[in-house]
Amino acid sequence: MAQHVALMRNRGYKYSSQSARLLRFDQFLQLHPALQEQPIGVMLDHWAAAKSTRNHTAECENIRRVLAKIFRHRDPSIPSRRPDSRPQKEVLKQWRKPHIYSPDDVRRMLDIARSYPSPRAPLRPQAIYTMLVLAYCAGLRRGEIARLDLGDVDLQHGTITVRQTKFFKTRILPLPDSVTAELRAYIKARRRAGAPQDPCSALFWHEQGRTRRYTPEMVTWLLVNVIRRAGLKPLQGRTGPRVHDLRHSMVVNRILQWYQTGINPQDRLPFLATYLGHRDINSTLVYITVTQDLLHLANERFRAVGAPCLNLGWEVRS
């Protein structure tokens, strides 16, 4: 398995999630040394029986597929294994529909972030506020927010550089003037708080810890706490809106604005895909959740543009 991971990374793949799955399987085998003399199929059967969750069943199927490819690569005479799509379909059944935050929801969360109680860390409320602004207005992922450095922000040109994220993409994002103003205010507050001014230092800096940088998990915890305080998510549990739904909301609300200003969203989707750091437009389409407002504006556009064409076709046939 280690050789396979090294091979895939040498070919240019990040191969992080697949490596983590293989590592979990290896850890299971280390805890069950009695299986070392058993065929690989028996090992996988025991691992599949260790948990009954849908996600674990899908992970076991993924490992079976990867190992089958490894063995077939070593010995082409081994017959190919037909993947089982049922575990992944079961996982998709429990996938939650994204929550689309309204502009009023976002304003309420921003107000709560500004007044976030943090007597021991006075910079934290403004840091959370700025994180929320970038998550919604720029559609940044939680990991992208956590990895931002001070030097990634160009206040003069109103841009922010997101480096080496998903799919090894680095992108420079132009920001609205209002977002640039919020970043400028945060950086001033950051300087007054005594944060280092080295361009390689963390943009979202705090005084505690060894790295003085918010981790992706901490970014998620803080923003989820704001969502809970806004009354949009239950006080406990994983149900309700998520932080990643801010990215979905950015896409849907942007398309709504395009419709309202008379812009054809289909012409702008390639630009939106690039802005979000997607490989292609198909990844962006996943973020388009059909809301009632979006459906209404799409129908209005069809009525204004498409309906006359249908009437013309009917007149020609008549």
Question: Sorting pLDDT into bands at 50, 70 and 90, what band is 291?
Answer: low
The pairs formed by 29-33 with CB atoms below 8 angstroms and a separation of 24 or more are: none
At 196-210, the pLDDT tens digits run 999 999 999 988 767
166 is catalytic: yes
Contact 243, 280 (CB under 8 A): no
Contact 108, 230 (CB under 8 A): yes
Question: Sorting pLDDT into bands at 50, 70 and 90, what band is 298?
Answer: low
Task: Give the Cβ contact number of residue 14 at 10 Å.
Answer: 13
> Comparing 29 with 282, which gets the higher pLDDT?
29
Q: What angle do CA 142, 289, 303 make, to 5 degrees?
A: 145
Indicate the domain borders of the chain. Answer: 2-93, 103-241, 246-317
The whole-chain average pLDDT of the chain stands at: 87
CA distance 19 to 32: 20
Query: What does the pLDDT average to over 113-130?
Result: 93
Q: Please tell me the predicted confidence (pLDDT) of residue 305.
A: 62
The burial class, CB within 10 Å (0-12 / 13-18 / 19+), for 80 is exposed
Helix axes 124-137, 245-260, angle to 10 degrees: 50
Question: Sorting pLDDT into bands at 50, 70 and 90, what band is 81?
Answer: confident
Q: Tell me which residue has tokens 């609205």.
A: 176
Q: Please tell me the predicted confidence (pLDDT) of residue 316.
A: 46
Q: Please tell me the predicted confidence (pLDDT) of residue 255.
A: 87
In this predicted structure, which of 84-98, 139-153, 191-205, 236-250 has the lowest mean pLDDT? 84-98
Give just the sign of the alpha carbon dihedral 121, 125, 128, 130: negative
Helix axes 54-74, 86-93, angle to 10 degrees: 150
At 136-155, the pLDDT tens digits run 999 999 999 999 999 999 99
Residue 244 has pLDDT above 70, yes or no: yes
Smallest CA-to-CA distance from 66 within 143, 7, 142 is with: 7
Q: How many residues does the chain have?
A: 318
Instruction: Place domain 103-241 in its CATH homologous superfamily.
Output: Intergrase catalytic core (1.10.443.10)
In this predicted structure, which of 20-34, 83-97, 205-219, 224-238 has the lowest mean pLDDT? 83-97
Out of 141, 142, 242, 247, which one is annotated catalytic?
Answer: 141
- Ranges of beta strands (E only) in the chain are 153-154, 159-162, 171-174
Query: What does the pLDDT average to over 249-256?
Result: 89
The burial class, CB within 10 Å (0-12 / 13-18 / 19+), for 88 is middle
Query: What does the pLDDT average to over 57-73?
Result: 90
171 is catalytic: no
Residue 309 has pLDDT above 70, yes or no: no
Q: Please tell me the predicted confidence (pLDDT) of residue 228.
A: 96
Q: Please tell me the predicted confidence (pLDDT) of residue 70.
A: 87
At 162-182, the pLDDT tens digits run 987 776 778 999 999 999 999
Out of 166, 169, 171, 212, which one is annotated catalytic?
Answer: 166
Phi and psi angles of residue 227, each rounded to the nearest 5 degrees, phi first: -60, -40
